[in-house]
Amino acid sequence: MDSAKNLSTSFSTMRNLAMGSVLALLLVALAAGFLVYRAYENSGRRVYVVGQTGSVAALSAPTTETHTAYEARNLVRNFMLTMFGHDQYTYKTNLDAALPLIEGRGGRRIYDGFTRGQVLQNYERYAARNVVTVDSVLVDMNHRPWSGRVYIKQRIFIGGEQKEPLPLAAKFNLVETNRSDANPYGLLITNFDYIPYNPQVSREELQALKEQEADRQRALQEAQRSAGAGAPDAGIAPVSPVAPGQASPAAPGK
């Protein structure tokens, strides 16, 4: 009888020990898994991937960073001023500053349009420059994908002479990207495409252009009288070239 009781007690003890061992192993496995996960996560944060838009951790932690419409408008305004406003001396520097703000395909299409229109060659040939004024930037950040429109005027100067303003407008989308020295906004312009824009030239600007043309005609007449022949002097009568801004880049997607 005592042997049977001792056997039952031994069996219960062994069962309790086995269950305790299984529970302990389970706890150890969970703890080990948690430690491995934390070590892997911390290791990933110290590994960075370098790309065209900057560097980013291999394991990106969730972020609560928000972008404002003010920040988005500044991005677009800066892009338009540097992408389209330049002369022979600032052409490369301004493009280098503008291209990181737009996705690669859209930036290449604008640059290819400049190349086909020989914008840099015209700057050098005619001592020209393109001055950009941003009329307005409209951004909708209430719905995704974020979208907007931008309207600018390009004023072409050839020597000291201003040509009639050339309006330009475009629609675009905005996507989030990593912040970097080249793009501190954390936003990237995508789907950049030209749209019609034909604002009226102000009365003051029309008057200034008329006075400028009158001065040019007087200079031509004086040159003709000085030469004693009917042909104007080549140094006084500038050729009307295809100005840099008139060599409009092909619209993306066309």
pLDDT tens per residue, range 137-186: 999 999 999 999 999 999 999 987 888 889 999 999 999 999 999 999 99
Instruction: Identify whether residues 86 and 180 lie together within a single domain.
Output: yes
Residues 93 and 11 in one domain: no
- Give the range with max mean pLDDT: 17-31, 36-50, 152-166, 196-210: 152-166
Q: What is the dihedral of CA 180, 183, 186, 189, to 10 degrees?
A: -150
The reply to whether 118 falls in a domain is yes
**pLDDT of 254 above 70:** no
Averaged pLDDT score across all residues of the chain = 79
Q: Is the same domain home to 99 and 165?
A: yes
Strand partners, 172: 148
- The whole-angstrom separation of Cα 180 and Cα 38 is 27
Our count of domains for the chain comes to: 2
Q: Count CA atoms within 13 Å of residue 162 on its CB side.
A: 16
For residues 98 and 169, membership in a common domain is answered with yes
- Selection from 240, 245, 242, 239 nearest residue 114 by Cα: 245
| Co-location of 39 and 86 in the same domain | no
Residue 133 lies in a domain: yes
For the ranges 22-31, 44-53, 191-200, which has the lowest average pLDDT?
Answer: 44-53
Q: Is residue 218 part of a domain?
A: no
3-state helix, strand, coil in the chain (%, to 5): 45, 25, 30
What's residue 64's pLDDT? 53
Which band of pLDDT confidence, cut at 50, 70 and 90, is reported for residue 233?
very low
Report whether pLDDT(252) > 50: no
Asked if residue 86 belongs to a domain, the reply is: yes
Same domain, 76 and 170: yes
In this structure, are 75 and 176 located in the same domain?
A: yes
CATH of the domain at 177: 3.10.450.230
Range of weakest confidence among 38-47, 119-128, 227-236? 227-236
Contact 117, 125 (CB under 8 A): no
Residue among 91, 94, 67 nearest 188 (CA)? 67
Among candidate residues 97, 223, 230, 210, the one with its CA nearest the CA of residue 162: 210
Q: Are residues 99 and 186 in the same domain?
A: yes
Closest CA to 95 of 111, 109, 106: 111
Whether 63 is covered by a domain: the verdict is: no
Amino acid occupying residue 86 = H
The parent domain of residue 11 ranges over 2-46
Residue 214 lies inside a defined structural domain of this protein: no
**Same domain, yes or no, for 20 and 80?**
no
Q: Are residues 90 and 199 in the same domain?
A: yes
Q: Does pLDDT of 195 surpass 90?
A: yes
**Which has the higher per-residue pLDDT, 100 or 221?**
100
> Considering the domain boundaries, does residue 124 fall inside one?
yes
Residues 38 and 111 in one domain: no
* Amino acid identity for residue 212 in this structure: Q
Give every CB contact of residue 246 below 8 A, 6+ residues apart in sequence.
117, 156, 166
87-119 b/e with 16+ CB inside 10 Å = b?
bbeebeebbebbbbbbbeebbebbbebbeebeb
> In this structure, is residue 252 part of a structural domain?
no
- Res 184: pLDDT: 95
Identify the band that residue 215 occupies on the pLDDT scale cut at 50, 70 and 90.
low
Read off the amino acid at residue 25.
L
